[in-house]
Chain A
């Protein structure tokens, strides 16, 4: 069974600092990979997705993610974090199935 691991439960950064959220997946072939953001009391919003092609994917709100097959990773990055980026971030993989497997999430805290 495939799995998605987000090793960091909480990440704290200062506003304006760079951000990297880690995501590792387990799947034999190339999976479909997603990053979602969830603000408190809200649903999940799709930030970006990777299906094939260029391994560096650009998303909304200035986010990007890089697929690295050798490391089974799909880390999310942003060069300069804004206070409004504080939220819960979920990585998901749907390789081989139409049903994505979600990581448990990383809570991003932004200090002024």
Chain B
């Protein structure tokens, strides 16, 4: 059973370009979470999605950032008109479903995409 897949692993963009980060959850997982990690900091939650639905986007910047998880295909985190401050590692995690007091609350992380904005 393959783990969470993310691509690309490294992405370089110039200021003003668009960045598209992809995440394929583990087989059987229908919940996807995106996190951002700045140097020497912990992970900061960005958005939580189920298939075709955004459940919680409270951690997403209001502008330039969007996320989707279509019925078919990977989840996409899109950053439009990137700026240098967007440089970070972006991690995707997946879980089977959310619930209280069960293993389904555990999130499994992908290897991340390291975005560098020149």
Interface residues of A (CB under 8 A from B): 4, 9, 32, 34, 36, 41-46, 49, 51-52, 90, 94, 98-100, 102-105
Contact = CB atoms under 8 A, between A and B. Distances in A.
Given A98-B48, A102-B43, A44 B56 contact: no
10 contacts: A43-B91, A43-B109, A43-B111, A51-B102, A51-B105, A94-B105, A98-B98, A99-B56, A100-B45, A102-B44
A90 B102 contact: no
A43 B56 contact: no
Contacts of B101: 32, 51-52
Contact of A46 (B44, B56, B106, B111): B106
Contacts of A44: 43, 91, 93, 109
Interface of B: 4, 6, 33, 40-45, 48, 56, 91, 93, 98, 101-102, 105-112, 114
Nearest to A100: B107
B37 to A, nearest CB: 9
Contacts of B33: 99
A38 to B, nearest CB: 9
A42 B76 CA distance: 20
A73 B114 CA distance: 32
Contacts of B48: 98-99
